[in-house]
């Protein structure tokens, strides 16, 4: 049986680490991307401990990867090519959250957020595409957010519409949604599926652990989209809605 190879960016902590753990628990070989070597090695140890004893196939390997650094991304692609010759799953998970309301936008800060959350995804995806094309049925998952949903942000009935207006992070995720749709469109005649995942409001460093979902729940959508069957969708946003127990709350396809 051929092993499935998955690369997860920003996998040293939070939802990315948990996504790597859950994929590894399914016997998938996980390449845990991290921009900091010490944090990456620590995550590799924690993943191997968590996956230890699972037997066939389960393996975890740290791979240095800063999504904003062209050289680092190309070196990661070259290493995967030498080691495995292909890539079956790419989870573009790494992101940063910064910024205040539109009227106080700091353009340097916005560029920084877009450099990671949007251009980083395009940089990594294009570097990995030759390897993804060599896999029998590759899956690309872009980890987005419901705060990037224009439908939800402008629906007075949505809890998101009640939140203070932010600019950099929400608009970076809206851009990522279109990036996802356009890759899905370009690749629609290939076996590659490209989708966006919404973890829901999850307790991680990103929000100083104010989220009400666990990382296990937060990683669910990424794992689902990373392991879609051949008749699964491409070009959708999927995951957890903001509110628990509120009307319309649920888990499934979400409005862009």
CA distances from 185 to 72, 91, 113, 179 (A): 28, 18, 25, 10
Catalytic one of 169, 183, 193, 201:
169
Q: Phi then psi for 105, rounded to 5 degrees?
A: -60, 130
Q: Does 175 bind ligand NAP (CB under 6 A)?
A: no
Give burial (CB, 10 Å; 0-12/13-18/19+) of 230.
exposed
The span of 94-102, 125-133, 151-159, 179-187 binding ligand NAP (CB under 6 A) equals 94-102
Q: Does 24 bind ligand NAP (CB under 6 A)?
A: no
56, 205, 230, 231: which one binds ligand NAP (CB under 6 A): 205
Q: How far is the CB of 138 from ligand NAP (least distance, A)?
A: 20
Q: Does 9 bind ligand NAP (CB under 6 A)?
A: yes
Q: Does 14 bind ligand NAP (CB under 6 A)?
A: yes
Catalytic one of 84, 173, 183, 193:
173
85 vs 106, which CB is nearer to ligand NAP?
106
* 71 catalytically annotated: no
Task: Say if residues 24 and 226 touch (Cβ distance below 8 Å).
Answer: no
3 vs 68, which CB is nearer to ligand NAP?
68
Q: Does 73 bind ligand NAP (CB under 6 A)?
A: no
Q: Does 13 bind ligand NAP (CB under 6 A)?
A: yes
Size of the site for ligand NAP (CB under 6 A): 30
- Residue for token pair 């060599």: 134
The span of 8-16, 51-59, 126-134, 151-159 binding ligand NAP (CB under 6 A) equals 8-16
Q: How far is the CB of 217 from ligand NAP (least distance, A)?
A: 10
C-alpha–C-alpha distance, residues 201 and 125, integer Å: 25
* 169 catalytically annotated: yes
Q: How far is the CB of 31 from ligand NAP (least distance, A)?
A: 13
Mask of contacts with ligand NAP, 27-66, x by CB under 6 A?
Answer: --------xx--x-------------------------xx
CA atoms within 13 A on the CB side of 240: 21
Q: Which of residues 109-168 bind ligand NAP (CB under 6 A)?
A: 116, 120, 143, 145
Q: Length of the chain, please?
A: 256
Angle at 157 between CA 95 and CA 245, to 5 degrees: 75
The residues binding ligand NAP (CB under 6 A) are: 9-10, 12-16, 35-36, 39, 65-68, 93-96, 116, 120, 143, 145, 199, 201-202, 204-207, 211
Q: What residues are annotated to the active site?
A: 169, 173
């Amino acid at each position: 049986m051929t092993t499935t190879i998955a690369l997860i960016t920003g996998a040293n902590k939070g939802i990315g680490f948990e996504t790597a753990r859950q994929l590894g628990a399914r016997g998938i070989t996980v390449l845990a991307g991290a921009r900091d070597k010490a944090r990456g090695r620590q995550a590799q140890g924690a993943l191997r401990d968590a996956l230890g004893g699972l037997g066939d196939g389960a393996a975890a390997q740290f791979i240095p990867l800063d999504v904003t650094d062209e050289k680092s991304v190309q070196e990661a692609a070259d290493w995967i090519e030498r080691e495995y010759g292909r890539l079956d799953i790419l989870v573009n998970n790494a992101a940063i959250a910064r910024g205040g309301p539109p009227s106080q936008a700091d353009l340097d800060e916005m560029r920084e957020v877009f450099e990671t959350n949007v251009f980083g995804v395009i940089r990594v995806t294009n570097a990995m595409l030759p390897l993804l094309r060599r896999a029998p049925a590759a899956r690309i998952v872009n980890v987005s957010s419901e705060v990037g949903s224009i439908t939800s942000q402008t629906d007075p009935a949505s809890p998101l519409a009640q939140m203070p207006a932010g600019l950099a992070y929400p608009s970076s995720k809206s851009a990522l949604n279109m990036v996802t749709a356009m890759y899905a469109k370009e690749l629609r005649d290939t076996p590659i599926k490209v989708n966006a995942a919404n973890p829901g409001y999850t307790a991680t460093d990103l929000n100083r652990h104010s989220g009400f979902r666990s990382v296990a729940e937060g990683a669910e959508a990424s794992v689902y989209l990373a392991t879609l069957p051949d008749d699964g969708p491409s070009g959708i946003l999927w995951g957890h809605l903001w509110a628990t127990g509120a009307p319309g709350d649920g888990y499934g396809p979400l409005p862009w």
